[in-house]
Amino acid sequence: MSSSIIIGSGIAGLATALRLRAKGMDVTVFEANDYPGGKLHAFSLAGYRFDAGPSLFTLPDLVTELFGLFDERFEDHFTYTRKTTVCNYFWEDGVRFTVDANREVFVEEAAEKFGIEASTLLNYLKNGQKKYELTSPIFLEKSLHKIGTYLSLDTVKALMQMSSMGISQDLNSLNATQLKEPHLVQLFNRYATYNGSSPYKTPGIMSMIPHLELHLGTYFPKGGMHQITKSLYELALRQGVTFHFGKKVDEILVENKRAIGVQVSDTKYYADVIVSNMDIFSTYEKLLANQPHPTRTLRQERSSSAVIFYWGISKQFHELDLHNILFSADYKTEFEHLFEHKTLYEDPTVYINISSKEASEDAPNGCENWFVMVNAPGDFGQDWTQLVAQVRQHIIEKIERLLGVDITPFIEEEDILTPPLIEQRTSSYRGALYGTASNSKFTAFLRHPNFSRQIKNLYCSGGSVHPGGGIPLCLLSAKITADLINSDLCN
């Protein structure tokens, strides 16, 4: 039986472990933290439960199909419901809008609300769907770094239509040209943040991202987002995957340009295959310090990070739902601050996630658990104590302006997550949430591949390598990596 070692138990690490185990491999996972899941974990504060990291759940089949690899019914271990409301949006000029999960209803209501032709918005969404359906099987489900990917009619067809996908203009320009209405342009510009990028830099092909929400749907797992981690971890245990928590890998052992094992404290562990689910920058800097580095790849611009306030709120807000956005009045200036000035803007866009809207047990009776996030630059040595204090006040002031309430007296519990803490807890370089930013049209091709070109039997999965960050792409990364390993071992 072939053996594998996986470094890190983030969502991609768990999925890679399951896929390799399903192929008959012996799988051992080393995790520096004392819990699985990486960013996708949870904690409690005095009766309030919080999902610590990702809060949006799309493409549930990417989770449930992992149970099918072992002929298990996912319904016995993992359940979820489809949301009828996607998100509530609030603007500084007093405009409010709720996005219905039914695409046709959304189009009708948005057309009436914002005074545009329904056909204009529907065509925009259908174009996004076309982009997704044309590119997803190639750019999201296969390695872009293997010649075999390009030797198919589907790939040739996709490449021939690239010029019509908006790849040569930024997302904001595409949205402004096609939608024109400022509120809708900002609403659809926001999707650039789903991979930690700026809508004023990321290519217009990213207009396919809304298809995930507005056609394929958004969901809420029973037990919260952390249930994704818990159910996959428990599945891995049932299938014989071995986990070592609190075991930090110090080095990937390499002999004759071949990965042979890992060093953990004073013990060496050997395997036929090594997979790093650690941030690719940290993988090279910390685990492969004596090996050649792909310098150009590691120098790529990192994605945005976040400052998150976890607030236990002793009040309920009926105008809010699971997902809520309070927009900045000057979106472009906000992104200039994030990516050019490496600081926080005084009027940030605020995202509020309230899982107790779906699971009342996540907060005490009559209360709500608020996950309050603003986009942030990576950690470049800024004074985060000062920045956090300032942005906290700006968030409170914004909530008062847009919701009409001073939230301060209702905050009875609080915890805070910053870019330095994100890096400390997850080894994500500079606290980047999605690895490299997608602020250029060639980013998809420049991401680190799911394998090492220099070191045989060394592979990578997770948000910092192909195809990118976020739960769906991390799960797809695991599939690509496992398929590569299986192919290499069979040849």
Residues 295-334: pLDDT tens digits? 988 899 999 999 999 999 999 999 999 999 999 999 999 9
Q: How confident is the model at residue 136, as a pLDDT? A: 81
Can you give the pLDDT at residue 438? 87
Cβ atoms of 380 and 424 within 8 Å: the answer is no
pLDDT over threshold 60, residue 233: yes
Q: 212: closest CA among 355, 361, 59?
A: 59
Q: What is the pLDDT of residues 15-41, one digit of tens each?
A: 999 999 999 999 999 999 999 999 999
pLDDT tops 90 at residue 155: no
Residue with structure tokens 């990917």?
Answer: 149
Burial (CB count within 10 angstroms: exposed 0-12, middle 13-18, buried 19+), residue 446 = middle
**pLDDT per position as a tens digit, 375-394:** 999 999 999 999 999 999 99
Average pLDDT over residues 357-369: 98
Whole-structure pTM over 0.75, yes or no? yes
pLDDT digits (tens, 9 = 90+) for 435-455: 999 888 777 567 899 999 999
pLDDT of residue 158: 60
First to last CA, the chain: 16
Beta strand 350-353 with 323-326 is antiparallel
Map tokens 């797992």 to a residue. Answer: 221
Find, among 488, 485, 426, 481, the residue nearest to 16 by Cα.
Answer: 481
According to the model, what pLDDT value does residue 168 have?
80
- Residue 483: DSSP 8-state: H
Residue 146 reports pLDDT greater than 80: no
Angle, helices 11-22 vs 61-68, to 10°: value is 30
pLDDT of residue 154: 64
Closest CA to 35 of 53, 7, 10, 52: 10
Percentage, residues of the chain above pLDDT 90:
86
Give the closest residue to 278 by CA, choosing from 270, 287, 269.
287
**Arithmetic mean of pLDDT over the chain:** 94
* Residue 390 burial (C-beta neighbours within 10 Å; 0-12, 13-18, 19+): middle
Distance CA 198, CA 201 (A): 5
146: helix, strand or coil: coil
441 CB neighbour count, 10 Å cutoff: 19
Strand partners, 372: 309, 352
* Dihedral sign (CA 145, 148, 153, 156): positive
CA–centroid distance for 289 within its chain: 27
Question: Residue 318 is encoded by which pair of tokens?
Answer: 């009926």
Residues 6+ apart with CB under 8 A from 340: none
For position 133, what pLDDT does the model report? 86
> Token pair of 220, please?
């809420």
CA distance 237 to 99: 39
DSSP 227-260: HHHHHHHHHHHHTT-EEEET----EEEEETTEEE
| Interval 401-410 mean pLDDT | 98
Task: Tell me the CATH number for domain 3-81+222-299+440-490.
Answer: 3.50.50.60
Q: Is residue 434 over pLDDT 90? A: yes
